[in-house]
Structure formats: structure tokens, C-alpha cells
Amino acid sequence: MIQIIPGTLLLSAIHAAIPNHWLPLIAVSKAEKWTLGQTRRATLISGFAHTLSTLLIGILVGFAGYSLSERYEAVSQRIAPMILIGLGLVYIYLDWRRMRNGHHGHTHEYAPATASRRLKGSVLFTLSLSMFLTPCLEIEAYYFQAGLLGWKGIFAVSAVYTFTTLFLMLVLVSVGMKGIGRIRSHTQLGLKQNVCHSNSTC
């Protein structure tokens, strides 16, 4: 458990920080002219949809590890760690291959340009569905290892992953929204000053 929890926390934090998890929400919010509160609610809903599909797959993987650990001692001592290391090497290779080909992995498809023509509910449903259909497969290796510890391990990984992902998505969206607001304010102030310099009536 001491090895699994820090690894889950670190991977969840890195995963949530990927721009494709929070930047599209800011783009849609700007296009739809949502308030910060509305954007945060949309972040929670779509983020939970993303974690939900990951948890469903993870529980199945964890249960498989739990079932095997009851029958074969070698699973918990040798096979599970080898699977964890093997999956890590596979993901490193796949990411390296995508970067070499000029593609970015683990993308969520959004259409901010057309989102403004849709109702808020439809936009939110599209975001949530897109997030739900693209679970975080990288965390599933931890579920297999956690399954060897029983349901406590599975629950611990689920709780850490869900809380970390949603919390960081909220933080990044909030910071991004405030950043856009400041840029807009500075831009408007600069335009006003330029107009005043060219107009003696200011």
C-alpha cells in the first residue's frame, strides 16, 4: 500500500495536468460565456465522467488481481510486479512513438467553435461523453497491483485517483479562467490608453 498510494497520487496529478483535460473546458466556457461557477460545475461533471469510466475498468482489473492472488502466491510475488513494470515500458514506448510521429496521445475531441450554437446541456453532455469514452488506461496497472491487497487497495487507488484528478482539474480551470480575465482586462486597458493618446477629449 505504501508503494501504490504515492505512485497513484503522482500519476493522477500528471494525468490531470494534461492540457486536454482542462483547456477545452476554458475554451468552451469562453465561447458560451459561462460564469466561473458554471465552468467549475461543468468541470466537476465532465471530470467525474472521465474518472467513472476509469474506475469501472479499474475495479474489474483489481478484482482479477484479487482473484488470482487468492489462488496463486506467485502472482503477488513475481507476476504482478512484472506486469506493472511491463505496462510502464509499453506506455513509455507508445508515447515516444506518438511524439516521433508528431501526434499527442490521450486526446479528447471537442469542438469549441461550434459549441456556441448548442444549448448548454448539449455542450456539457458532449464534453462528459467524450471524457467518459477516453478513460485513463495508465492507472489500470495500479489497480491490478492494488487488487492483490483486497478491496482496501482497490478503494484506496479509486479514492486517490478521483480526488486528485477532480481537484487539479478544478484548480487548473479556475487559474486559466482568471488568467484569461486578466489578459482581457490588460488588453482593454491598453486599447483605451491608445485611444486617449490619440484623442484630446480623454
Which residues are CB-neighbours of 140 under 8 A, at least 6 positions away? 54, 57, 58, 61, 87
Q: Could you report the per-residue pLDDT of 157-170, keeping only the tens digit for each?
A: 999 999 999 999 99
pLDDT of residue 56: 92
Q: What is the pTM of this model?
A: 0.67
Q: For the chain, what is the mean pLDDT?
A: 75
Question: Averaged over 120-130, what is the pLDDT?
Answer: 81
Residues 136 and 165: their CA atoms lie apart, in Å, by: 11
Q: Which residue has the cell 495500479?
A: 142
List the domain boundaries for the chain: 4-174
Band (89; pLDDT cuts 50, 70, 90): low
